[in-house]
Amino acid sequence: MSGQPHRYARVWIMELKKIHLKSFGCQMNKLDSSLVTAALAERGFVLTDKATEADVVLINTCSVREHAEQRVLSHLGHLSHLKKSRPNVLVAVIGCMAQRMGEHLLAHEAVDIVAGPGQLHDVPDLIEQALTNRQKHLRVLDNIRQPAESETIRTLSDRLDKFELAYDSDADPIKSQAFIRAMRGCNNFCSYCIVPYVRGPEVSRSPQAIVEQTKKLADRGIRQITLLGQSINAYRYTAGQKTYTLADLLELVSAIDGVRWVRFITSHPGRFDPSILQVMAALPKVCPYLHIPAQSGSDRILKAMHRGYTAAGYLDLIEQAKATVPELALAGDFIVGFPGETEADFEATEAMIRRVRYKNCFVFKYSPRPGTHADKKLADDIPADVKQQRNARLLEVINAIAEEDNRAFLGRTLEVLVEGPSKKPHLNKAEHQDNPQLIGRTANDYIVVFNGPQSLTGQFATVRVTKTAALTLFAELT
């Protein structure tokens, strides 16, 4: 009895603290949020979906567009109110905006802790310290653009890696899928983009770490792995004589028993080695899906964006990809209203979309980000209403193409990984409980809805398409 009671006593006297999480931004941020909450859960924190009953409010932030930051600031405004009635609530701001704004955020009356993406592993300690000493804490990198080989970045990467391995990434055993970071940071410096300044230099994780993590997750029932990186095709890791590329990594991960589907996001059209396409074609577990943003179809704008390719170069790569990988589906991102974008530039973007015929695309209105090259050198001269119109016009073209192409799926039998019941409550009322509307995704990322038992969540199912629309395929279980 000697060792055990001590541990139970500690749990017994420890008050359970409630934590409320609000996460903005991309998949990287979602992954970071899940790692921190897993670390906090181990220390006895429990999640609550009500900010009003939380002891700690954790906000993971995004700086990619001004709108993303405004949403965080307005959220902090609400929290200032909340703190009037509950002054002991601790507010921790983490993520890209924390790194970008550091002290300014800490000066906000609602904020107690500010920590950047490079200090993720420190967040649980900072929260526990601040709960005890009630002081403000700032933990961001002073000079984030140090070389990847520098002592600071290497030490940080090692710590982050340990943290990542300990908390097993963003595993959702019910949905049987998980995201695994393959790379941190970015070195591309696209002229409009804040990411290199808030996420630091590009660092690839070792294939051993990624494989170890994937094996653990596969043992726990994870069937789909998505490898993450800002330009994942640039993955490079040298160990001894060998330099591992994304193609090597895909081979290693798909050789793991239990793993059925392997995805990777996001691809950058520059430096895209054809070996990746060959691996996609050769390995059945590697999903025939590329999220490969072009950003613009105009060479003049691509040059000003520092994207490092031309429209023709991009289209050649896409042709090669389509010719090599059967059933390949493509997704993209476009920015409208980049400084100096003329009607002719915009039409070149439209023409590119008509050539590629994406499965889906995200369209963003250019938003100047402080400190980026475009913000320093180029006037944000496209009026808001023109950006809005171009945004709407692109979405119209994208949707019309998807609607047309999706018709080819009518009557086809597809395999999907079931993600769970659809979020539309009117479709999932009590009377449908045994047979709710479920959402699944094909290997090439098509969203398929169909009715079936909820117990299919996390399973692979075979469905036949009965109706199609621009964003969704409707189907029935076979």
Binding site for ligand F3S (CB under 6 A): 25-26, 28-29, 62-64, 95-96, 194-195, 198-199
Number of residues that bind ligand SAH (CB under 6 A): 17
- Burial-class residue 361 by CB neighbours within 10 Å (0-12, 13-18, 19+): buried
434 φ, ψ (degrees, to nearest 5): -80, -15
Interaction between residue 190 and ligand SF4 (CB under 6 A): yes
Q: What is the DSSP string of 103-156?
A: HHHHTSTT-SEEE-GGGGGGHHHHHHHHHHH---EEE--SS----TTSHHHHHH
Rounded CA separation 357/428 (Å):
33
Q: Is 37 in the site for ligand SAH (CB under 6 A)?
A: no
- Closest contact distance (angstroms) between CB of 364 and ligand SAH is 4
Q: Please choose which of ligand F3S, ligand SF4, ligand SAH, none residue 25 contacts, taking the beta carbon within 5 to 8 angstroms, the exact cut-off set by kind.
A: ligand F3S
Rounded to the nearest 5 percent, the helix, strand and coil shares of the chain are: 45, 25, 35
The answer to the question of residue 409 lying near ligand SAH (CB under 6 A) is: no
- Least Å from the CB of residue 307 to ligand SF4: 8
364 near ligand SAH (CB under 6 A): yes
Stretch that binds ligand SF4, among 52-60, 109-117, 184-192, 206-214 (CB under 6 A): 184-192
CA distance 47 to 29: 17
Residue 260 or residue 291: which is nearer to ligand SAH going by CB? 291
Q: Two tokens at 313?
A: 């170069």
Please give the residues from 396 up to 435 whose contact with ligand SF4 meets the rule CB under 6 A. none
DSSP state of 438: E
User: In the 8-state DSSP scheme, what is residue 431?
Assistant: G
Q: Please say whether the beta carbons of 332 and 314 come within 8 A.
A: no
Site track 191-220 with ligand SAH (rule: CB under 6 A), x = hit: -xx-x-------------------------
Does 196 bind ligand SF4 (CB under 6 A)? Our answer is yes
Minimum distance from residue 236 beta carbon to ligand SF4 (Å):
15
Q: Which of 128, 172, 333, 405 binds ligand SAH (CB under 6 A)?
A: 333
Q: Which is closer to ligand SF4, CB of 76 or CB of 190? A: 190
**With CB cut-offs between 5 and 8 Å by kind, which of ligand SAH, ligand SF4, ligand F3S, none does residue 196 bind?**
ligand SF4
Residue 298 interacting entry, from ligand F3S, ligand SAH, ligand SF4, none, C-beta within 5 to 8 Å by type: none
Q: Site for ligand SF4 (CB under 6 A): which residue of 34, 226, 230, 349? A: 230
> Taking CB under 6 A as the rule, does residue 40 contact ligand SF4?
no
197, 230 Cβ separation under 8 angstroms: no
- Nearest to 289, CA basis, from 258, 262, 319, 270: 262
Beta bridge partners of 265: 228
- Which of 63/213 has CB closer to ligand SAH? 63
Strand bridging mode 473-477 / 460-468: antiparallel
Q: 264 to 293, contacts with ligand SF4 by CB under 6 A?
A: 268
Q: How far is CA 165 from its chain centroid? A: 18
Contact status: 335 vs ligand SAH (CB under 6 A):
yes
User: Going by C-beta distance under 8 Å and a sequence separation of 6 or more, which residues neighbour residue 222?
Assistant: 171, 173, 176, 177, 178, 214, 258, 259
* Number of shown-chain residues binding ligand SF4 (CB under 6 A): 10
DSSP 172: B
- At 467, give phi and psi (nearest 5°): -160, 150
One character per residue 52-91, x = contact with ligand SAH (rule: CB under 6 A): ------------xx--------------------------
How would you class 210 by CB atoms within 10 Å of its CB: exposed for 0-12, middle for 13-18, buried for 19 or more?
buried
User: Residue 186, interface with ligand SF4 (CB under 6 A)?
Assistant: yes
- Measured from the CB atom, the residue of 69 and 161 that comes closer to ligand F3S is 69
Of 29, 169, 230, 349, which one interacts with ligand SAH (CB under 6 A)?
A: 230
Which of 314, 366, 409, 446 is the binder for ligand SAH (CB under 6 A)? 366
CA distance linking residue 270 with residue 246, whole number of Å: 14
Positions in the binding site for ligand SF4 (CB under 6 A): 186, 188-190, 193, 195-196, 230-231, 268
Positions in the binding site for ligand SAH (CB under 6 A): 64-65, 192-193, 195, 230-231, 266, 268, 293, 295, 333, 335, 364, 366-367, 369
